Amino acid sequence: MLKKVFLLFSILCITAISQSQNDNPKLVVGIVVDQMRYDYLTRFYNKYGEGGFKRMMTEGFNCKNNHYNFIPTKTGPGHASIFTGTTPKYHGIIGNDWFSKELLRNINCVEDNSVEPVGTDSKDGKKSPVHMQVTTFADENRLFTQMKGKTIGISVKHRGAIFAAGHTANAAYWWDYDHDGKGNWISSTFYMDALPEWVSTFNASGIAQGYFKTWNTLYDIDTYEESGTDSNAYERVLEGENESGFPHKLDELKNENGGFHVIANSPFGNSLTTDFVLKAIEAEQLGKDAITDVLTVSYSSTDKVGHDYGPNSIEVEDTYLRLDLELERLFIALDQMVGKGEYTVFLTSDHGAPHVPSYLKDQKIPSGLFDLNTMLKDVNDKLYETYQVSDLALSRINNQIFLDHKKIEEHKIDIQELKTRVSQKLLSYELISNVYMTSAINLFPESVGYQEIMLFNGHHQKRSGDVIFTFTPEVFKDTNWNRTGTDHHSGFNYDTHVPLLFFGKGIKHGQTLRRTHITDIAPTISSLLGISFPNASIGEPLEFVME
């Protein structure tokens, strides 16, 4: 009798374990739409089809009040935070670039001279997640499954592929489009010694070259009533064009605008990304067994179009209407290749963006551009008057002043007095609203204001600068590149409020106006999979989105 009971109990346990495994999605797809403001969901809603953004909203869960909880809102920190569930304070990615106190130069967030390029001779292949100090949920899934669950990261931008995929990824692929790029999907020896045959075959197919074509509006341009005029002074004019409006003849413009760069700066960069993603799903057999795989997809061309033309442009609207079709194409393929109801998707963004300052000024809304290079010179001139030491301020990257501590020590300068003088100078500028000595940021009490909390979350004690400052709303740095189009970096709603959509296996249908944070995504997916949270995660699982 006891043997029968024990046998029955064993069968029930095995069944329960099997059922638990079957309850997990076969594939988790994390989609990041670079520079997507939340209101792009609502502003263009009536023009979206039923199979892309609307499918996620009608079948899944819409977190309408989702925000970043740190400064700066940039691509590198954004991707790292989405997939790690924590902020730059812990994961260490404090910007797309930052000033290295050891090397005394700016470094890129994914640069790694210890690895070699794969699939290219360009130094753009010398990249890895070496500077990210924590795990992603994909890393935790790899550990949980004894490395049997695959992870593949894909993006036109290297940082969009690398931080999302994490440290243990089977592969991260990015597009070699910049400078002398050959238009190939590439990687580094951090992941592999040579490109898989399917990637080499894709690169040789000529698919990328096929996107050197004319970019015209998807629909009749007169129907784009959600956006401003087509050609105006707020938008970038490409080399070889006389005005900023449609059509953009990429084949004629490529030689004067960086070759494949013009594809990346158009909606066709997103189409190429989908092409490659679909091939990866097929070739890597993602989602083909009961062990959960992770696929991360970052659509980068939305950011590039936004930087060139700004949120009120017809180019941005057309790019999102075309991206909606790309999402539909992806979801149809997932239905067929993985199985409808067998995968889970989330979609968010790495940051938003403000309107073009000159456009806002014309609408009588306070805004402006700030010349950071002139400011740095002014600061150094002021310090020289006091200390007779040149270039005490080394860098102003990411709205942070990095001081030359070697000179300060050699000349026995009082560091606190120096920081005070820098702070006073910065506060004298009309467009700078607040200045903080970063040595005090870690001592902020819990009762500080919202902006201070965001600075606290974005501050890395070893990597961040000595003094940090914030602009008034709708202000960003003044460069030749930034005088048209837009930028991003701040803690204001236009930069922090981004979409968060979940749909697929294990996800309820619904919506909420409850405030959620970007750091909640990774622990939510971890909870869905029943795995450990990323090791520095500070977010909360959003249990109300799960069945």
Catalogue the active-site residues. 75
Question: In terms of DSSP bridges, do strands 151-155 and 171-176 run parallel, antiparallel, or are they unpaired?
Answer: parallel
Phi, psi of 227 (to 5 degrees): -125, 175
- Give me the helix-helix angle, 137-144 and 521-529, nearest 10°: 20
Phi, psi of 243 (to 5 degrees): -150, 170
Locate 86 and state its tokens.
Answer: 């924590």
User: Under 8 Å CB-to-CB from 288, ≥6 apart: which residues?
Assistant: 26, 338
Pairwise CA distance, residues 176 & 180, whole Å: 8
What stretch of H or E contains 109? none
Locate 23 and state its tokens.
Answer: 């309850």
Residue at token pair 């004629």: 252
Are the beta carbons of 209 and 129 closer than 8 angstroms? no
Q: Exposed/middle/buried for 358, CB within 10 Å: 0-12, 13-18, 19+?
A: middle
The DSSP symbol for 127 reads B
The DSSP symbol for 228 reads -
- Interior/surface letters 393-407, b for 16+ CB within 10 angstroms, e for the rest: bbbbbbbbbbbbeee
Pairwise CA distance, residues 275 & 266, whole Å: 15
- Computed over its alpha carbons, how large is the radius of gyration of the chain? 24
Q: What is the 3-state secondary structure (H, E, C) of 316-384?
A: HHHHHHHHHHHHHHHHHHHHHHHHCCCEEEEEECCCCCCCCHHHHHHCCCCCEEECHHHHHHHHHHHHH
Within 47-96, where are the H helices? 53-59, 75-84, 88-91
